[in-house]
């Protein structure tokens, strides 16, 4: 099945002037929207209040959301928490209104629809973590840009590096401009777009007449590995959500008069990547044909990730703070898991890619990261609770173990399907 039957090449370069003009217009509009409307940031970045309400019967989230919207809040975060009778609400603070006053206002609005509702918890959520992560992310982006430019300048010409950075930033800015203009909720929109893109790519490769039987067999074997990668990145993403919160609130970060910044949580994980990347590459080279096949590396990564997250559980249940040394050791396990799957996944994608679909196959691999990261945000938002943090880490552990075992069962079949490329 062909979605688009194009029988001749499209002369894009013939219309380069018009296309460049359109591109510049969209870019400038995106910049304008970003400055005038801004992005619809969550409470984690802006600061706000988290309120927990209890109902006598299962709560009607639609009516709850409507009552809050009537107070002037657009798209409030309303979700069940624990049971169908418990509701968690996240709201940004209004200028000149305290968290306590805001909770009273919300409670009064909810009681109009259901007098049985009770306020169980109300706490202020500061924007400190979000700000620190945003600053660290910006610095990391600048370092990556400089590294790409330097590498391409040495390997080819500096013009290629500058052109590549401009092209990539151009696309990112335009996409962010759309989010700013429509004020979209990032997680739901991106998740939907990614799912459609993935289905389109795999449908094209598995159903298209231009691909051989062996190519389709390779792609079919790649599907469960792709899904496993999505699950892995969903769980791994908690390094930047619940793990950061844990590092901020629970880990003993003070050494004498000095206290480690919260942003060092992500920096420590990046440090392990730098240290271990070369080591693991050397290990695979030394092992040669004795190293595990690609599907088994995926399985091992999920098992190691489960072990890393389970390390949090005994400390949380015992109510004991984790030391910096232990925390760095946990990040070591999570990084080992990452290096067991990240470079292996992109290598496999290039190996099994159909001859006419190699570039797109690399894009498919990176879609697993996008899907995983987006789902990871949704998972954290829907299931994380500070008072029941141990249950959240147990959930991460169980999901990782179940996925690992399921993939382990498929390993013999996948090895046979990939025997001529892996």
Tell me what pLDDT residue 195 has.
58
**Phi then psi dihedrals of residue 401, to 5 deg:** -65, -45
Q: In the predicted model, what is the mean pLDDT of residues 8-23?
A: 71
Predicted confidence (pLDDT) at residue 403 exceeds the cutoff of 90: yes
* Tokens describing residue 213: 């039987």
DSSP label at 289? G
Comparing 124-128, 282-286, 410-414, the range with the smallest average pLDDT is 124-128
Enumerate domains of the chain plus CATH numbers: 1-39+128-184 (no CATH), 48-125 (3.30.70.3400), 190-417 (1.20.1250.20)
Of residues 8 and 338, more confidence is placed in 338
CA distance 338 to 274: 12
Q: pLDDT, tens digit, for every residue of 254-274?
A: 877 778 877 777 778 778 888
CA distance 336 to 318: 27
Q: In the predicted model, what is the mean pLDDT of residues 376-405?
A: 87
| Average pLDDT value for the chain | 78
Tell me what pLDDT residue 306 has.
95
Q: How many CB atoms lie within 10 A of CB 351?
A: 15
Task: Indicate the pLDDT class of residue 93, thresholds 50, 70 and 90.
Answer: low
Tell me what pLDDT residue 1 has.
42
Task: Indicate the pLDDT class of residue 4, thresholds 50, 70 and 90.
Answer: very low
Which has the closest alpha carbon to 356: 261, 179, 216?
A: 216
pTM comes to 0.65
Q: pLDDT, tens digit, for every residue of 307-354?
A: 999 999 999 998 888 888 899 999 999 999 999 998 888 888 888 877
Q: How many CB atoms lie within 10 A of CB 187?
A: 18
Q: In the predicted model, what is the mean pLDDT of residues 39-65?
A: 75
DSSP bridge partners of 87: 53, 80
Tell me what pLDDT residue 228 has.
92
Share of the chain above pLDDT 70, in %: 75
Highest mean pLDDT among 27-31, 307-311, 412-416: 307-311
Highest mean pLDDT among 38-52, 131-145, 219-233, 400-414: 400-414
Q: pLDDT, tens digit, for every residue of 166-179?
A: 766 776 677 777 76
Tell me what pLDDT residue 201 has.
57
Residue 292 three-state SS = coil
Predicted confidence (pLDDT) at residue 186 exceeds the cutoff of 60: no
Tell me what pLDDT residue 171 has.
65
Tell me what pLDDT residue 303 has.
96
Tell me what pLDDT residue 108 has.
87
Predicted confidence (pLDDT) at residue 57 exceeds the cutoff of 70: yes
Report whether 89 contacts 78 (CB < 8 A).
yes
CA distance 67 to 113: 8
Q: How many CB atoms lie within 10 A of CB 150?
A: 12
Q: How many CB atoms lie within 10 A of CB 289?
A: 4
Of residues 201 and 153, more confidence is placed in 153
């Amino acid at each position: 099945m062909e979605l688009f039957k194009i029988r001749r090449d499209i002369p894009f370069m013939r219309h380069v002037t018009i296309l460049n003009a359109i591109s510049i217009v969209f870019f400038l509009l995106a910049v304008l929207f970003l400055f005038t409307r801004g992005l619809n940031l969550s409470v984690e970045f802006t600061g706000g209040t988290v309120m927990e309400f209890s109902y006598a019967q299962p709560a009607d989230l639609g009516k709850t959301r409507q009552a809050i919207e009537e107070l002037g809040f657009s798209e409030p975060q309303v979700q069940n928490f624990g049971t169908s009778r418990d509701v968690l609400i996240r709201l940004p603070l209004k200028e000149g209104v305290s968290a306590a006053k805001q909770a009273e206002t919300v409670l009064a609005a909810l009681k109009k629809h259901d007098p049985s509702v009770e306020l169980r918890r109300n706490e202020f959520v500061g924007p400190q973590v979000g700000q620190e992560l945003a600053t660290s992310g910006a610095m990391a982006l600048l370092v990556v840009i400089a590294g790409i430019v330097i590498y391409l300048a040495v390997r080819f010409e500096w013009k290629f590096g500058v052109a590549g950075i401009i092209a990539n930033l151009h696309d990112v800015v335009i996409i962010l401009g759309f989010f700013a203009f429509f004020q979209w909720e990032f997680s739901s929109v991106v998740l939907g777009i990614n799912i459609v893109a993935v289905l389109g790519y795999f449908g094209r490769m598995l159903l298209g007449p231009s691909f051989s039987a062996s190519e389709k067999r390779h792609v079919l074997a790649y599907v469960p590995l792709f899904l496993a990668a999505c699950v892995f990145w969903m769980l791994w993403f908690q390094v930047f959500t619940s793990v950061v919160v844990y590092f901020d609130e629970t880990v003993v970060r003070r050494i004498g008069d000095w206290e480690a910044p919260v942003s060092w949580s992500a920096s420590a994980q990046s440090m392990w990547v730098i240290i271990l990347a070369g080591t693991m590459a050397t290990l695979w080279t030394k092992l040669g044909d004795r190293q595990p096949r690609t599907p088994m590396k995926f399985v091992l990564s999920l098992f190691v990730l489960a072990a890393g997250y389970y390390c949090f559980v005994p400390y949380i249940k015992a109510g004991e703070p984790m030391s910096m040394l232990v925390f760095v050791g946990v990040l070591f396990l999570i990084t080992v898991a990452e290096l067991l799957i990240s470079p292996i996944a992109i290598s496999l994608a290039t190996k099994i890619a159909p001859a006419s679909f190699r570039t797109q196959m690399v894009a498919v691999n990176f879609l697993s990261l996008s899907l995983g990261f987006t789902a990871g945000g949704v998972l954290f938002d829907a299931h994380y609770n500070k008072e029941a943090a141990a249950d959240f880490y147990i959930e991460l552990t169980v999901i990782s173990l179940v996925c690992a075992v399921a993939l382990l069962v498929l390993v013999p079949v996948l090895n046979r399907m990939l025997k001529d490329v892996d």
